[in-house]
Amino acid sequence: MELHVKRDHSSSGQYPNRARMLISCPDGPGIVAAVSDFLFQNGANIVHSDQYTLDPDGGMFFMRIEFDLPELEQRLDELRDGFNGVAGRFTMDWRIINVSYKKRLAIFVSKEDHCLVELLWQWQAGDLDADIALVVSNHTDMQSYVESFGIPFHHIPVTPETKAEAEKRQLEVIGEEIDVIILARYMQIISPSFIEYYRHRIINIHHSFLPAFVGGKPYAQAYQRGVKIIGATAHYVTEELDGGPIIEQDVQRVSHSDDVNELKRIGRTIERVVLARAVKWHIEDRILVHHNKTVVFN
């Protein structure tokens, strides 16, 4: 089964005729040969290929390929239609993505600014090859900063009584063509209906090394426990609080002399780096989700 979204916000980029193919299917002989032969028969040149088998004895197969194809834009629909036959033989879930289409990002933020600032800085520097379409916040603290980048800012307050109405408004301002939502320290629980609409397209940064210290105030929990390592985790959001598929994690050693505020200060650096990596990998189509795990290709 293939999923793709047609858009008009294309950019010629450095490789206007490059595409990516992502595949997951039950493992078996002949998959790589069939995919490679299909691309060869259609005049494509493979420039990068990576694969992984989860449990070789009757497990799952995952593959990421980058290839160049002359006149890709004109031939993409034909290519997708033609690949249905190969995909059907191996019961594949698959996508072919035109690299020149930049993904559209919506960033949600509350009052903590460090993760948002990192994403905006990397985007401005050209390290995030995507379009930041808008920023949504339940506070106004970051409005002038965001708008200084020429990015629309939407203030949508949230209270327990207005949560459903606020989410409805959020969906309205996001529109139909957002590829991924980034919770850059957005301190609100996302409803199951919202999650279902953006399944595996909402990335959250949690300020602990999951599965340790889920929920609120993880640095206070870590301090009370006397840990010697703190970390941060970027993951896809699911209905289970802080329990979605993990994309990236990192840690740093701390001391018994570090109080909660010092843990927070150290943690902010870890959080911003981990979230930026996860977002970059998502927009570069390096992540495949299998059950509650991810395969992240280099």
Residue 9's pLDDT is what?
46
Q: Is the pLDDT of residue 4 over 90?
A: no
Instruction: Indicate whether 197 belongs to any domain.
Output: yes
Same domain, 239 and 170: yes
* 3-state secondary structure at position 83: helix
Same domain, 94 and 174: no
| Catalytic-labelled residue, pool 131, 242, 258, 285 | 242
User: In the structure, what pLDDT confidence band is assigned to residue 49 with cuts at 50, 70 and 90?
Assistant: very high
Q: For the chain, what is the mean pLDDT?
A: 93
Residue 145's pLDDT is what?
97
Same domain, 118 and 134: yes
The H or E element spanning position 20 is: strand 18-26
Catalytic residue list contains 50: no
Same domain, 146 and 65: no
Q: Is the pLDDT of residue 5 over 60?
A: no
CATH number, position 153: 3.40.50.170
- Domain limit, last residue, from 73, 98, 123: 98
Domain that holds residue 24: 18-98
Encoded tokens for 141:
């603290």
Q: Is the pLDDT of residue 176 over 90?
A: no
Residue 245: name the closest of 292, 183, 190 by CA.
292
Q: Is the pLDDT of residue 283 over 90?
A: yes
**For residues 262-273, average pLDDT:** 96
User: In the structure, what pLDDT confidence band is assigned to residue 14 with cuts at 50, 70 and 90?
Assistant: confident
Same domain, 113 and 77: no
User: In the structure, what pLDDT confidence band is assigned to residue 57 with cuts at 50, 70 and 90?
Assistant: low
Same domain, 81 and 142: no
- Domain limit, last residue, from 77, 98, 119: 98
DSSP state of 140: S
Same domain, 77 and 145: no
CATH number, position 51: 3.30.70.260
How many domains are contained in the chain? 2
Instruction: Indicate whether 11 belongs to any domain.
Output: no
Residue 2's pLDDT is what?
42
